[in-house]
Amino acid sequence: MKGPIVSIDVSKGKSDYQAFKNLNVKYTGSRSIKHTKEGFDEIVNLVKEMEKKLETEVCVVYEATGVYHRVLKKVLEDNNIKQFIINPLLSAKTRKNDSLRSPKTDKLDPKSIA
């Protein structure tokens, strides 16, 4: 994906995320949030900060993960934040193609989702 994005690996009760100015330039390191109001506010505030600094729309990208992504989807919609939901099989395939020997870790997932 081109342009600024926040890539999120959603799981039960928590999510790992990383922000990118573009695909090759990190905006933040990998971070984790709990699925609480404070955690989701952190994502919303990050997106708004990036949009102000970069003067362009930021897209949040994440996997459809059963019921776990639904609250995130609602929060993003309520805050008029552009989002792109991908099929988990697609990101798993990308992860596998990136490195056949690297183990799967939640901290690395935001990069492969991006």
**Look-up: residue for tokens 């697609």?**
90
Distance CA 67, CA 80 (A): 21
Neighbours of 89 (CB within 10 A): 10
Q: What domains lie within the chain, and their CATH numbers? A: 5-113 (3.30.420.140)
Amino acid identity, position 6: V
Question: Which residues on adjacent β-strands are paired with residue 88?
Answer: none
Give the pLDDT band of residue 3 (cuts 50, 70, 90): confident
pTM: 0.80
Phi, psi dihedrals of residue 31, rounded to the nearest 5°: -135, 165
pLDDT in tens, 25-60: 999 999 999 999 999 999 999 999 999 999 999 999
d(CA 47, CA 23): 16
- pLDDT tens digits, one per residue of 67-108: 999 999 999 999 999 999 998 776 665 655 555 455 555 655
